[in-house]
Amino acid sequence: MMKMMLYKQVRMIGNPQQSEQKSYTTGGAAVRKEQMELDSEFPVDMARRTISFNTVSKHWHPFLELGYCISGEGWFHIQETTYPVRAGDVFMINQSQPHIANCDPGKTCQYVFIYFRPSILEAIEPELLLPFNSKSFVVRNRIPGELPIASSIGRLICQMGEELEQRQIGYRSQVRGGLLQSCALLARYYRSLMSDKEWSVTLASFNRIFPALQYVKDHFKDNIRLEDVAEHIALSPSRTYHLFKEIIGDGFKEYVIKMRVKEAQRLLIGTDLPVTEVYLKSGFPNHASFYRSFHQFVKMTPREYRDGSALTADFMNIP
Protein backbone atom coordinates (compact mmCIF):
# COMPACT_ATOMS: atom_id res chain seq x y z
CA MET A 1 0.00 0.00 0.00
CA MET A 2 2.84 2.36 0.86
CA LYS A 3 4.51 1.52 -2.44
CA MET A 4 1.38 2.39 -4.38
CA MET A 5 0.97 5.70 -2.54
CA LEU A 6 4.50 6.71 -3.42
CA TYR A 7 3.96 5.50 -6.98
CA LYS A 8 0.92 7.79 -7.37
CA GLN A 9 2.70 10.71 -5.78
CA VAL A 10 5.45 10.57 -8.38
CA ARG A 11 2.94 10.98 -11.16
CA MET A 12 1.59 14.16 -9.60
CA ILE A 13 4.89 16.00 -9.61
CA GLY A 14 4.75 16.92 -13.26
CA ASN A 15 1.21 18.29 -13.14
CA PRO A 16 1.34 22.08 -13.61
CA GLN A 17 -1.66 22.58 -11.32
CA GLN A 18 -0.04 20.66 -8.47
CA SER A 19 3.65 21.46 -8.94
CA GLU A 20 5.28 23.93 -6.64
CA GLN A 21 6.17 27.10 -8.58
CA LYS A 22 9.89 27.74 -8.12
CA SER A 23 12.26 30.01 -9.96
CA TYR A 24 15.48 28.45 -11.13
CA THR A 25 18.94 29.70 -11.94
CA THR A 26 21.70 27.37 -13.04
CA GLY A 27 24.32 28.94 -10.80
CA GLY A 28 24.17 28.48 -7.05
CA ALA A 29 20.58 27.25 -6.92
CA ALA A 30 19.60 24.74 -4.29
CA VAL A 31 19.43 21.26 -5.72
CA ARG A 32 16.75 19.00 -4.33
CA LYS A 33 16.74 15.25 -4.19
CA GLU A 34 13.64 14.00 -5.96
CA GLN A 35 10.97 12.24 -3.93
CA MET A 36 10.68 8.69 -5.13
CA GLU A 37 11.14 5.19 -3.78
CA LEU A 38 12.12 2.14 -5.80
CA ASP A 39 11.16 -1.35 -4.74
CA SER A 40 14.15 -3.30 -3.41
CA GLU A 41 13.23 -6.49 -5.28
CA PHE A 42 12.30 -4.87 -8.58
CA PRO A 43 13.92 -1.40 -8.59
CA VAL A 44 12.24 0.12 -11.65
CA ASP A 45 9.48 2.72 -11.84
CA MET A 46 8.15 5.37 -14.21
CA ALA A 47 6.54 8.79 -14.35
CA ARG A 48 4.66 10.77 -16.95
CA ARG A 49 5.40 14.48 -16.73
CA THR A 50 3.94 17.54 -18.38
CA ILE A 51 6.58 20.22 -17.98
CA SER A 52 5.68 23.88 -18.36
CA PHE A 53 7.60 27.05 -17.51
CA ASN A 54 9.35 26.81 -14.11
CA THR A 55 7.23 23.93 -12.76
CA VAL A 56 10.25 21.78 -11.86
CA SER A 57 13.25 22.70 -9.71
CA LYS A 58 16.80 21.53 -10.25
CA HIS A 59 17.22 18.10 -8.69
CA TRP A 60 19.08 14.80 -8.66
CA HIS A 61 18.18 11.29 -7.58
CA PRO A 62 20.29 8.29 -6.62
CA PHE A 63 19.23 6.03 -9.46
CA LEU A 64 19.50 6.02 -13.24
CA GLU A 65 17.03 7.69 -15.57
CA LEU A 66 15.87 7.32 -19.16
CA GLY A 67 13.63 10.04 -20.57
CA TYR A 68 11.63 10.30 -23.80
CA CYS A 69 9.98 13.49 -25.05
CA ILE A 70 6.56 12.58 -26.42
CA SER A 71 5.55 16.07 -27.54
CA GLY A 72 6.34 19.75 -27.22
CA GLU A 73 9.62 21.62 -27.09
CA GLY A 74 11.84 23.13 -24.43
CA TRP A 75 15.25 22.47 -22.97
CA PHE A 76 16.97 20.09 -20.59
CA HIS A 77 19.84 21.30 -18.41
CA ILE A 78 22.03 18.38 -17.25
CA GLN A 79 25.12 19.02 -15.15
CA GLU A 80 26.69 21.98 -16.98
CA THR A 81 25.17 21.41 -20.43
CA THR A 82 21.88 22.71 -21.83
CA TYR A 83 20.21 20.58 -24.52
CA PRO A 84 17.32 21.70 -26.73
CA VAL A 85 14.33 19.37 -26.50
CA ARG A 86 12.07 18.29 -29.34
CA ALA A 87 9.55 15.47 -29.65
CA GLY A 88 11.35 12.16 -30.10
CA ASP A 89 14.49 13.08 -28.16
CA VAL A 90 15.89 10.54 -25.69
CA PHE A 91 17.83 11.49 -22.55
CA MET A 92 19.95 9.40 -20.19
CA ILE A 93 21.05 10.68 -16.76
CA ASN A 94 23.15 9.03 -14.09
CA GLN A 95 22.72 9.21 -10.33
CA SER A 96 25.17 12.06 -9.74
CA GLN A 97 24.03 14.55 -12.40
CA PRO A 98 21.84 17.47 -11.25
CA HIS A 99 19.30 18.30 -13.93
CA ILE A 100 16.14 20.23 -14.76
CA ALA A 101 13.62 20.17 -17.61
CA ASN A 102 11.96 23.43 -18.52
CA CYS A 103 10.09 25.26 -21.29
CA ASP A 104 9.67 28.80 -22.46
CA PRO A 105 6.55 30.61 -21.16
CA GLY A 106 3.43 29.40 -22.93
CA LYS A 107 4.95 26.10 -24.06
CA THR A 108 4.94 22.59 -22.61
CA CYS A 109 6.78 19.28 -23.00
CA GLN A 110 5.40 15.84 -22.26
CA TYR A 111 7.80 13.12 -21.13
CA VAL A 112 7.86 9.50 -20.08
CA PHE A 113 10.66 8.76 -17.59
CA ILE A 114 11.96 5.36 -16.52
CA TYR A 115 13.91 5.21 -13.24
CA PHE A 116 15.97 2.20 -12.17
CA ARG A 117 18.78 1.09 -9.92
CA PRO A 118 22.00 -0.21 -11.47
CA SER A 119 21.53 -3.47 -9.55
CA ILE A 120 18.93 -4.67 -12.04
CA LEU A 121 21.66 -4.88 -14.72
CA GLU A 122 24.76 -5.59 -12.65
CA ALA A 123 24.15 -9.31 -12.31
CA ILE A 124 23.14 -9.79 -15.95
CA GLU A 125 25.50 -7.72 -18.10
CA PRO A 126 27.42 -4.98 -16.26
CA GLU A 127 28.75 -3.54 -19.53
CA LEU A 128 25.26 -2.21 -20.23
CA LEU A 129 25.87 0.31 -17.44
CA LEU A 130 28.68 1.91 -19.45
CA PRO A 131 26.45 4.65 -20.92
CA PHE A 132 25.65 5.78 -17.37
CA ASN A 133 28.96 5.24 -15.59
CA SER A 134 31.71 5.94 -18.10
CA LYS A 135 33.01 9.49 -18.25
CA SER A 136 33.49 8.98 -22.01
CA PHE A 137 29.76 8.40 -22.44
CA VAL A 138 27.91 10.58 -19.98
CA VAL A 139 29.16 13.80 -21.55
CA ARG A 140 26.51 13.11 -24.21
CA ASN A 141 23.15 12.88 -22.46
CA ARG A 142 20.86 13.46 -25.44
CA ILE A 143 20.09 11.32 -28.50
CA PRO A 144 18.33 13.50 -31.08
CA GLY A 145 14.89 12.34 -32.12
CA GLU A 146 15.74 12.32 -35.82
CA LEU A 147 18.07 9.36 -35.30
CA PRO A 148 16.50 5.90 -35.83
CA ILE A 149 17.95 4.65 -32.54
CA ALA A 150 16.05 7.36 -30.65
CA SER A 151 12.79 6.05 -32.11
CA SER A 152 13.68 2.49 -31.09
CA ILE A 153 14.60 3.45 -27.52
CA GLY A 154 11.63 5.82 -27.24
CA ARG A 155 9.26 3.02 -28.24
CA LEU A 156 10.78 0.76 -25.58
CA ILE A 157 10.47 3.50 -22.94
CA CYS A 158 6.78 3.96 -23.77
CA GLN A 159 6.18 0.19 -23.63
CA MET A 160 7.91 -0.05 -20.25
CA GLY A 161 5.86 2.89 -19.01
CA GLU A 162 2.62 1.20 -19.98
CA GLU A 163 3.67 -2.08 -18.35
CA LEU A 164 4.56 -0.27 -15.11
CA GLU A 165 1.24 1.59 -15.14
CA GLN A 166 -0.94 -1.43 -15.85
CA ARG A 167 1.07 -3.98 -13.84
CA GLN A 168 -0.51 -7.02 -15.43
CA ILE A 169 0.85 -10.52 -14.94
CA GLY A 170 4.40 -10.78 -16.23
CA TYR A 171 5.01 -7.03 -16.30
CA ARG A 172 8.32 -7.34 -14.46
CA SER A 173 9.69 -9.64 -17.17
CA GLN A 174 8.44 -7.30 -19.89
CA VAL A 175 10.01 -4.27 -18.21
CA ARG A 176 13.29 -6.03 -17.49
CA GLY A 177 13.47 -7.10 -21.13
CA GLY A 178 12.71 -3.59 -22.34
CA LEU A 179 15.35 -2.15 -20.06
CA LEU A 180 17.98 -4.60 -21.27
CA GLN A 181 17.14 -3.79 -24.90
CA SER A 182 17.21 -0.04 -24.26
CA CYS A 183 20.58 -0.12 -22.52
CA ALA A 184 22.01 -2.43 -25.18
CA LEU A 185 20.95 0.04 -27.87
CA LEU A 186 22.44 2.89 -25.86
CA ALA A 187 25.75 1.09 -25.49
CA ARG A 188 25.84 0.32 -29.23
CA TYR A 189 25.05 3.91 -30.09
CA TYR A 190 27.82 5.34 -27.93
CA ARG A 191 30.14 2.62 -29.17
CA SER A 192 29.49 3.85 -32.73
CA LEU A 193 30.80 7.30 -31.76
CA MET A 194 34.16 5.90 -30.67
CA SER A 195 37.12 4.48 -32.53
CA ASP A 196 38.00 0.83 -32.03
CA LYS A 197 40.93 1.85 -29.84
CA GLU A 198 38.82 4.20 -27.70
CA TRP A 199 36.19 1.52 -27.23
CA SER A 200 38.72 -1.17 -26.36
CA VAL A 201 40.37 1.05 -23.74
CA THR A 202 37.05 2.19 -22.27
CA LEU A 203 35.61 -1.32 -22.01
CA ALA A 204 38.78 -2.77 -20.52
CA SER A 205 38.97 0.05 -17.98
CA PHE A 206 35.31 -0.34 -17.02
CA ASN A 207 35.69 -4.08 -16.53
CA ARG A 208 38.64 -3.38 -14.25
CA ILE A 209 36.94 -0.65 -12.23
CA PHE A 210 33.53 -2.30 -11.85
CA PRO A 211 34.54 -4.66 -8.99
CA ALA A 212 36.11 -1.63 -7.27
CA LEU A 213 32.82 0.28 -7.46
CA GLN A 214 31.02 -2.69 -5.94
CA TYR A 215 33.62 -2.89 -3.17
CA VAL A 216 33.24 0.81 -2.36
CA LYS A 217 29.46 0.45 -2.35
CA ASP A 218 29.76 -2.27 0.29
CA HIS A 219 32.45 -0.60 2.42
CA PHE A 220 32.14 3.18 2.08
CA LYS A 221 30.95 3.45 5.71
CA ASP A 222 34.15 1.78 6.91
CA ASN A 223 37.64 3.23 7.11
CA ILE A 224 38.18 2.34 3.45
CA ARG A 225 41.48 3.19 1.79
CA LEU A 226 42.61 3.35 -1.82
CA GLU A 227 45.09 0.58 -0.99
CA ASP A 228 42.22 -1.68 0.12
CA VAL A 229 40.39 -1.21 -3.16
CA ALA A 230 43.57 -1.64 -5.18
CA GLU A 231 44.28 -4.94 -3.43
CA HIS A 232 40.69 -6.06 -4.07
CA ILE A 233 41.08 -5.63 -7.83
CA ALA A 234 44.76 -6.67 -7.92
CA LEU A 235 46.11 -3.35 -9.21
CA SER A 236 48.51 -0.78 -7.84
CA PRO A 237 47.03 2.14 -5.88
CA SER A 238 48.29 4.53 -8.55
CA ARG A 239 46.58 2.62 -11.38
CA THR A 240 43.39 2.28 -9.33
CA TYR A 241 43.29 6.02 -8.69
CA HIS A 242 43.74 6.79 -12.39
CA LEU A 243 40.96 4.34 -13.28
CA PHE A 244 38.54 6.22 -11.05
CA LYS A 245 39.47 9.51 -12.69
CA GLU A 246 39.44 8.04 -16.18
CA ILE A 247 36.13 6.18 -16.00
CA ILE A 248 34.08 7.84 -13.25
CA GLY A 249 35.50 11.34 -13.48
CA ASP A 250 36.09 11.52 -9.69
CA GLY A 251 39.14 10.63 -7.70
CA PHE A 252 38.80 7.76 -5.23
CA LYS A 253 38.51 10.01 -2.19
CA GLU A 254 35.91 12.26 -3.82
CA TYR A 255 33.87 9.24 -4.91
CA VAL A 256 33.82 7.81 -1.36
CA ILE A 257 32.89 11.18 0.13
CA LYS A 258 29.97 11.50 -2.30
CA MET A 259 28.70 8.08 -1.23
CA ARG A 260 28.92 9.13 2.42
CA VAL A 261 27.14 12.42 1.79
CA LYS A 262 24.30 10.60 0.02
CA GLU A 263 23.97 8.24 2.98
CA ALA A 264 23.94 11.21 5.37
CA GLN A 265 21.16 12.82 3.33
CA ARG A 266 19.17 9.61 3.54
CA LEU A 267 19.56 9.43 7.32
CA LEU A 268 18.83 13.12 7.88
CA ILE A 269 15.52 12.86 6.09
CA GLY A 270 14.49 9.31 6.88
CA THR A 271 15.36 9.19 10.59
CA ASP A 272 15.37 11.33 13.71
CA LEU A 273 18.95 10.40 14.55
CA PRO A 274 21.08 13.18 16.05
CA VAL A 275 23.55 14.70 13.61
CA THR A 276 26.43 13.09 15.51
CA GLU A 277 25.01 9.63 14.86
CA VAL A 278 24.25 10.51 11.25
CA TYR A 279 27.82 11.33 10.38
CA LEU A 280 29.18 8.32 12.25
CA LYS A 281 26.74 5.95 10.53
CA SER A 282 27.62 7.54 7.17
CA GLY A 283 31.30 6.78 7.54
CA PHE A 284 32.67 10.23 8.34
CA PRO A 285 35.56 10.13 10.82
CA ASN A 286 34.67 13.35 12.64
CA HIS A 287 32.31 16.29 12.92
CA ALA A 288 34.52 18.74 10.98
CA SER A 289 35.01 16.55 7.90
CA PHE A 290 31.29 15.79 7.81
CA TYR A 291 30.19 19.42 7.87
CA ARG A 292 32.85 20.46 5.37
CA SER A 293 32.00 17.71 2.88
CA PHE A 294 28.24 18.04 3.30
CA HIS A 295 28.31 21.77 2.62
CA GLN A 296 30.64 21.26 -0.35
CA PHE A 297 28.24 18.97 -2.18
CA VAL A 298 24.80 19.98 -0.86
CA LYS A 299 25.44 23.73 -0.47
CA MET A 300 23.76 23.87 2.95
CA THR A 301 24.37 22.62 6.46
CA PRO A 302 22.96 19.27 7.62
CA ARG A 303 20.50 21.09 9.89
CA GLU A 304 19.30 23.33 7.04
CA TYR A 305 18.92 20.27 4.85
CA ARG A 306 16.88 18.36 7.43
CA ASP A 307 14.70 21.38 8.31
CA GLY A 308 13.97 22.10 4.65
CA SER A 309 13.30 18.53 3.58
CA ALA A 310 9.50 18.88 3.76
CA LEU A 311 9.64 21.82 1.37
CA THR A 312 12.20 20.42 -1.04
CA ALA A 313 10.48 17.04 -1.43
CA ASP A 314 13.67 15.13 -0.74
CA PHE A 315 13.69 11.40 -0.45
CA MET A 316 16.30 8.90 0.60
CA ASN A 317 17.71 6.04 -1.38
CA ILE A 318 21.12 4.68 -2.22
CA PRO A 319 21.72 2.98 -5.57
pLDDT tens, 12-55?
333 333 333 333 333 334 444 444 557 778 999 999 999 998 87
Q: Domain ranges in the chain? A: 2-192, 196-249, 254-312
Mean pLDDT across the stretch 143-161?
97
Write down the pLDDT at residue 26. Answer: 33
Q: What is the CATH number of domain 254-312?
A: 1.10.10.60
Cα radius of gyration (the chain): 19
How would you classify the pairing of strands 44-52 and 108-116?
A: antiparallel
d(C-alpha 303, C-alpha 279), whole Å:
12
Phi-psi region of 148 (alpha: psi -120 to 50; beta: other; left: phi over 0): alpha
185 confidence band (pLDDT: 50, 70, 90): very high
Write down the pLDDT at residue 37. Answer: 58
Mean pLDDT across the stretch 136-162?
91
The yes-or-no verdict on residue 104 having pLDDT over 50 is yes
Contact 108, 51 (CB under 8 A): yes
The one-letter amino acid code at 281 reads: K
Write down the pLDDT at residue 11. Answer: 34
The yes-or-no verdict on residue 168 having pLDDT over 90 is yes
Q: What global pTM score does this model have?
A: 0.70
The yes-or-no verdict on residue 116 having pLDDT over 80 is yes
Share of the chain residues as helix, strand and coil, in percent rounded to the nearest 5: 50, 15, 35
Which residues, 6 or more positions from 47, have their beta carbon under 8 angstroms from its beta carbon? 10, 11, 13, 14, 36, 112, 113, 115
The yes-or-no verdict on residue 9 having pLDDT over 80 is no
Is domain 2-192 in CATH 2.60.120.280, yes or no? yes
d(C-alpha 65, C-alpha 86), whole Å:
18
Q: How far is CA 25 from CA 50, 57, 109, 113, 237, in A?
A: 20, 9, 19, 23, 40
2-192 and 254-312: identical CATH topology = no
What is the phi/psi pair of residue 43, to 5°?
-80, 65
Mean pLDDT across the stretch 205-231?
90
Share above pLDDT 70 across residues of the chain, in percent, rounded to a whole number: 81
Q: Residue 34 gets which letter from DSSP? A: P
92 confidence band (pLDDT: 50, 70, 90): very high
Write down the pLDDT at residue 309. Answer: 54
Write down the pLDDT at residue 1. Answer: 34
The one-letter amino acid code at 217 reads: K
Q: Specify the range with the lowest mean pLDDT, choosing from 32-46, 227-241, 253-267, 270-284.
A: 32-46
Contact 57, 100 (CB under 8 A): yes
The one-letter amino acid code at 302 reads: P
Burial call 205-219: b when 16+ CB within 10 Å, e when fewer:
bbebbbebbebbeeb
